[in-house]
């Protein structure tokens, strides 16, 4: 029925999609048969409905034929539903009076018998005629938006995203669980392909973050939980006690001198030592010491209070407690980064067994001017300058049988960089690389790699390494060179493993807290691999950097800026519009059994204990229909997809 109580005049428009549909479906026959179907006032076919003239056909016919509803038989609604809704809107129809019959992905592309495919297409279009008879015009649900963003993780991606959002004039909470911002990038020595010193190019950004009036920096904080929905999130953030007053600390270092507890320095990946009270690195932001409570003798002044006693400005406070801070934000950008796959997983390469077998990140520290060896290449076991280093690529990457199926993308380039920097430090040293392919798909990457080979005389051997073991003070490497068809054995002073990148530890927990999804490898999933690369499937969440998959610095920065732009797009809207096709509760039928409350994946439904029925948060409801399927009394009916509509569609499909 239309708004005047008359029977709806329905128009059917069948698209050929060139030959995509027309080759397997007799589109003319579909249009003809549908023209004779009850309720259909007009039916036609056209080669490309989505083209400008195609849309004009819809617009013209709606007016000429006084149509009340339109069905377009074409590709998936994810592609052109909005196109046709807009065309119908121009002709004065509500977008809720437009339905898409998918006869491409669900018919022509998946069938091989033209006759059967045509019949199936007719049945699908028929079913939508039955549905659209009962479609009601709905008004979008409007919601306010909190123009304030949270960025989780303050590596290069998080820093870039925070700066870009802040520069658009919005307030940003930048949450980092470590004591300083900087992430993995600040640990790197020099960066490919231009060999800028990582600290030199990153610290200006770090300082900018700390000084930016729109950025609230929350280091040593962790996200506890998130509730709410796009534009209106409430986050609970745990502030971990640093036991040092950030503002009062002058970084004089007196506390560090007197601290009796020595532990491996995690910034240097255990290649050197630090005290229990420490500054992660000289340019740390915020510039304050942090007391690592897990290494400290304990917060009992009777046992040890050396640091407290030494601090002249009384910055050390043993009474600091964990706090939970609640904040409101409208958008959340997740930049939680990556971990390197553990060398333990590849026992045959001797990582974590032999001191002189190190992973890529450890070698970065060894090369770094601020690293454990003060910028000289020295091997961990005895501090000797290695005269021969073997680099092994694809350690765990591209090994679907035993490890990771994906390519970690950065290892080819950083191995070339390692070999080049090693030759800069030790010109008479021999660098040998075992590889299975060299992938240098970035701007000026291939040129960098070739420069490494030609100027550094680095020998690239094409083959995997089978085993690595120690003999005396040498490391023996067994590999192969498939280009000459030879098994190769060689002695080295040091071995560097280009370990695969993997999802950050604790990703599962974060996913649960954020209620967002990941792919099969644990990387946070983007909404569309090509067209929505920085948005999560869950609205209001954006992704940047390696949390979403392995990537190099240029890509991470670009993605962070893109995510920030998306946040800006969200904040630029006066009100957020929420799809009104939700599942309300029929108060007369609801018995308050709460079955729907338990099946709802969005926490949109709760029991109103006074009324004894379930109420729905219209903004949280995504209209998935889980409740409608579960409701035993029929009180939960999805708008424009009621039980009545579904049964009518089924009969139309099953009818001969």
Q: Least separation, in Å, of the C-beta of 490 and other proteins? A: 4
Instruction: Compare residues 340 and 438 and give the one whose CB is closer to other proteins.
Output: 438
How many angstroms separate the CA atoms of 22 and 579, rounded? Answer: 33
Instruction: Compare residues 267 and 434 and give the one whose CB is closer to other proteins.
Output: 434
Instruction: Compare residues 458 and 626 and give the one whose CB is closer to other proteins.
Output: 458
**Binding residue (CB under 8 A) for other proteins from 483, 537, 572, 650:** 483
Structure-block tokens of residue 63? 């007016």
Q: Least separation, in Å, of the C-beta of 449 and other proteins? A: 9
Asked if 490 touches other proteins (CB under 8 A), the answer is yes
Instruction: Compare residues 136 and 487 and give the one whose CB is closer to other proteins.
Output: 487
Q: What burial letters (b/e) apply to 309-346, b meaning 16+ CB within 10 Å?
A: ebbeeebbbbebeeeeeebebbbbbbbbbbbbbebebb
Q: Are strands 532-536 and 526-528 parallel, antiparallel or unpaired?
A: antiparallel
Structure-block tokens of residue 220? 């040593």
Count of beta carbons in the 10 Å neighbourhood of residue 427: 9
Instruction: Compare residues 230 and 458 and give the one whose CB is closer to other proteins.
Output: 458
How many angstroms separate the CA atoms of 617 and 642, rounded? Answer: 19
Span near other proteins by CB under 8 A; candidates 117-125, 188-196, 451-459, 529-537: 451-459
Instruction: Compare residues 180 and 432 and give the one whose CB is closer to other proteins.
Output: 432
Instruction: Compare residues 44 and 430 and give the one whose CB is closer to other proteins.
Output: 430
Q: Is-contact 417 195, C-beta < 8 A?
A: yes
Q: Is-contact 33 126, C-beta < 8 A?
A: no
Q: Least separation, in Å, of the C-beta of 349 and other proteins? A: 18
Asked if 293 touches other proteins (CB under 8 A), the answer is no
Span near other proteins by CB under 8 A; candidates 476-484, 498-506, 540-548, 627-635: 476-484
Considering only residues 403 to 432 of the shown chain, the ones binding other proteins according to CB under 8 A are 430, 432
Count of beta carbons in the 10 Å neighbourhood of residue 598: 11
**Binding residue (CB under 8 A) for other proteins from 136, 487, 512, 611:** 487
**Binding residue (CB under 8 A) for other proteins from 263, 488, 539, 653:** 488
Q: Least separation, in Å, of the C-beta of 438 and other proteins? A: 8
Q: Least separation, in Å, of the C-beta of 477 and other proteins? A: 9
Asked if 447 touches other proteins (CB under 8 A), the answer is no
Span near other proteins by CB under 8 A; candidates 220-228, 332-340, 365-373, 448-456: 448-456
How many angstroms separate the CA atoms of 380 and 395, rounded? Answer: 20
Q: Least separation, in Å, of the C-beta of 412 and other proteins? A: 13
Instruction: Compare residues 64 and 489 and give the one whose CB is closer to other proteins.
Output: 489
Asked if 603 touches other proteins (CB under 8 A), the answer is no
Instruction: Compare residues 230 and 433 and give the one whose CB is closer to other proteins.
Output: 433
Asked if 466 touches other proteins (CB under 8 A), the answer is no
Helices 114-132, 27-35: inter-axial angle, 10-degree rounding? 40
Count of residues that bind other proteins according to CB under 8 A: 22
The backbone torsions φ and ψ at residue 352, rounded to the nearest 5 degrees and listed phi first, read 65, 0
Span near other proteins by CB under 8 A; candidates 103-111, 141-149, 456-464, 556-564: 456-464
Considering only residues 374 to 393 of the shown chain, the ones binding other proteins according to CB under 8 A are 388
Radius of gyration (C-alpha) of the chain in whole angstroms: 31
Q: Least separation, in Å, of the C-beta of 384 and other proteins? A: 17
Asked if 467 touches other proteins (CB under 8 A), the answer is no
Span near other proteins by CB under 8 A; candidates 122-130, 397-405, 487-495, 605-613: 487-495
Asked if 328 touches other proteins (CB under 8 A), the answer is no
Give the angle 330-577-234 at the CA atoms, nearest 5°: 25
Asked if 453 touches other proteins (CB under 8 A), the answer is yes
Q: Cα–chain-centroid distance for residue 458?
A: 36
Q: Least separation, in Å, of the C-beta of 482 and other proteins? A: 10
Asked if 457 touches other proteins (CB under 8 A), the answer is yes
**Binding residue (CB under 8 A) for other proteins from 302, 485, 574, 609:** 485
**What region, left, alpha or beta, does residue 442 occupy, with left being phi > 0 and alpha being psi -120 to 50 degrees?**
beta
Asked if 239 touches other proteins (CB under 8 A), the answer is no
How many angstroms separate the CA atoms of 575 and 619, rounded? Answer: 12
Q: Least separation, in Å, of the C-beta of 423 and other proteins? A: 12
Asked if 459 touches other proteins (CB under 8 A), the answer is yes
Asked if 484 touches other proteins (CB under 8 A), the answer is yes
How many angstroms separate the CA atoms of 202 and 368, rounded? Answer: 14
Which of 417, 343, 362, 361 lies closest to 190, judged by CA?
A: 417
DSSP string covering 340-387, please? EPPGGG-GGGTTTTSTTEEEHHHHHHHHSTTSTTTTS---TTT-PPPS
SS (H, E, C) 183-241: CCHHHCCEECCCCEEHHHHHHHHHHHHHHCCCEEEEECEEEEEEEEECCEEEEEEEECC
Q: Cα–chain-centroid distance for residue 487?
A: 41
Q: Least separation, in Å, of the C-beta of 386 and other proteins? A: 13
Considering only residues 157 to 216 of the shown chain, the ones binding other proteins according to CB under 8 A are none
**What region, left, alpha or beta, does residue 315 occupy, with left being phi > 0 and alpha being psi -120 to 50 degrees?**
alpha
Q: Least separation, in Å, of the C-beta of 396 and other proteins? A: 25
Contacts to other proteins by CB under 8 A? 388, 430, 432, 450, 453-454, 457-462, 481, 483-491
């Amino acid at each position: 029925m239309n708004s005047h109580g008359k029977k709806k005049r329905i128009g059917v428009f069948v698209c050929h999609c060139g030959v995509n549909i027309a080759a397997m479906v007799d589109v003319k026959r579909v249009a003809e048969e549908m023209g004779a179907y009850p309720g259909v006032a007009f039916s036609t076919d056209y080669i490309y409905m989505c083209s400008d003239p195609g849309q004009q056909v819809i617009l013209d016919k709606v007016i000429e034929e006084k149509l009340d509803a339109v069905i377009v038989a074409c590709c998936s609604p994810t592609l052109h539903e909005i196109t046709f809704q807009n065309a119908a809107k121009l002709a004065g129809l509500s977008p809720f009076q437009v339905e898409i019959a998918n006869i491409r992905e669900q018919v022509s592309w998946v069938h091989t018998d033209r006759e059967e495919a045509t019949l199936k297409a007719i049945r699908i279009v028929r079913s939508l005629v039955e549905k659209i008879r009962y479609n009601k015009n709905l008004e979008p649900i409007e919601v306010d938006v909190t123009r304030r963003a949270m960025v989780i993780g303050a590596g290069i991606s998080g820093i870039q995203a925070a700066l870009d959002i802040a520069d658009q004039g919005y307030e940003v909470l930048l949450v980092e669980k470590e004591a300083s911002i900087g992430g993995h990038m600040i640990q790197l020595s020099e960066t490919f392909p231009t060999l800028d010193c990582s600290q030199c190019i990153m610290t200006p950004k770090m300082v900018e973050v700390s000084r930016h009036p729109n950025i609230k920096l929350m280091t040593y904080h962790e996200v506890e939980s998130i509730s709410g929905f796009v534009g209106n999130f409430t986050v609970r953030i745990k502030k971990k006690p640093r036991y040092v007053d950030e503002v009062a600390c002058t970084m004089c270092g007196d506390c560090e001198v007197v601290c009796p507890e020595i532990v491996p320095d995690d910034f240097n990946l255990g290649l050197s030592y630090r005290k229990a009270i420490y500054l992660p690195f000289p340019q740390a932001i915020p510039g304050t010491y942090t007391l690592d409570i897990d290494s400290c003798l304990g917060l009992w002044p009777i046992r040890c209070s050396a640091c407290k006693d030494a601090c002249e400005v009384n910055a050390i406070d043993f009474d600091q407690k964990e706090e939970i801070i609640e904040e409101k934000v409208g958008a959340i950008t997740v930049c939680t980064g990556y971990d390197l796959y553990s060398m333990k997983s590849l026992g045959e390469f001797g990582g974590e067994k032999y001191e002189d077998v190190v992973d890529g990140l450890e070698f970065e520290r060894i090369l770094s001017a601020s690293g454990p060896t003060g910028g000289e290449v020295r091997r961990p076991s005895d501090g000797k300058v290695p005269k021969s280093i073997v680099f092994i690529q694809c350690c765990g990457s591209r090994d679907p049988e035993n490890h990771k199926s994906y390519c970690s993308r950065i290892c080819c380039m950083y191995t070339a960089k390692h070999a080049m920097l090693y030759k800069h430090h030790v010109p008479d040293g021999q660098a040998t690389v075992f590889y299975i392919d060299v992938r240098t798909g970035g701007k000026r990457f291939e040129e960098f790699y070739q420069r490494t080979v030609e100027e550094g005389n680095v020998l690239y051997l094409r083959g995997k390494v089978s085993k690595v073991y120690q003999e005396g003070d040498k490391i023996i490497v067994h590999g192969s060179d498939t280009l000459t068809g030879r098994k190769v054995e060689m002695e080295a002073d040091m071995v560097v493993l280009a370990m695969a990148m993997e999802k950050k530890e604790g990703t599962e927990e974060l996913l649960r807290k954020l209620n967002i999804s990941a792919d099969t490898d644990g990387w946070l999933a983007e909404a569309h691999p090509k067209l929505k690369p920085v948005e999560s499937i869950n609205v209001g969440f954006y992704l940047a950097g390696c949390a979403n998959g392995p990537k190099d610095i240029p890509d991470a920065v670009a993605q962070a800026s893109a995510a920030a732009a998306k946040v800006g797009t969200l904040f630029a809207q006066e009100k957020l519009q929420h799809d009104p096709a939700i599942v309300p509760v029929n108060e007369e039928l609801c018995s308050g059994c709460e079955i729907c409350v338990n099946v709802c994946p969005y926490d949109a439904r709760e029991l109103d204990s006074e009324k004894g029925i379930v109420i729905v948060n219209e903004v949280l409801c995504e209209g998935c229909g889980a409740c409608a399927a579960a409701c035993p009394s029929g009180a939960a009916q999805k708008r424009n997809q009621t039980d009545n509509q579904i049964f009518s569609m089924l009969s139309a499909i099953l009818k001969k």
